[in-house]
Amino acid sequence: TAMDKQSSLDRLCSSDYEVSCHYLIDSAGTCYQLVDDSKRAWHAGKSFWRGLRDINSRSLGIELVNSGNEAYPKAQMESLMLLLRDLLAIHKISPQNVLGHSDIAPSRKTDPGKWFDWRLLSENGLAILPKVSLPIDTDKQSFLLDAQRAGFEPEATFEQILQAFRSRCRTNFEGAFDGYDCALMKKFADIFDVDELSNPQ
């Protein structure tokens, strides 16, 4: 949320701002339900995923209290995993459809950022994180085509997609674009391929 708990609650619950979410989890792991699951919240903003632009009407929004420049506490991540297990089971949501703001809006969002532990979610069956052992040819055009095949917005620039993708899949790497980026994106696309997945939650 890039603000403290009380400021986050005040903004998300205020009619003065056109923003809301279904759940907020603070750094201590306390989970607040702000909007009923059956209701639309305003958390995704201008976004795109797998051909869909009205993400708010077909998703549940979870916000985490975090400055954006620090690790997410263990208690917060454990609370998130408990919530995700419940939501995925109740609403029959696939782990493929657990996404971050930067996945659906790479041109304007950077959260949850490089400090977020996508690997932990993946290891617990709550999200998808591709794994590769070898690089492939470094090819920017192929990388972008695979990004679109995965579901990223076609209007986003190469730099925006690379930053968003690395914040999820190569969090500790800051070097030049390389064959591992390409291999990981290809694997990501194979998992998310828009031609193979239908009826996203």
Question: What residues have CB less than 8 Å from 194, skipping those under 6 apart?
Answer: 50, 51, 149, 150, 151
Query: How far is Cα 35 from Cα 89, in angstroms, rounded to an integer?
Result: 19
63 has catalytic annotation = yes
- Could you tell me what percentage of the chain is helix, strand and coil, using 3-state DSSP and rounding each to the nearest 5? 40, 5, 55
Among the options 18, 63, 123, 153, which is catalytic? 63
List active site positions: 63
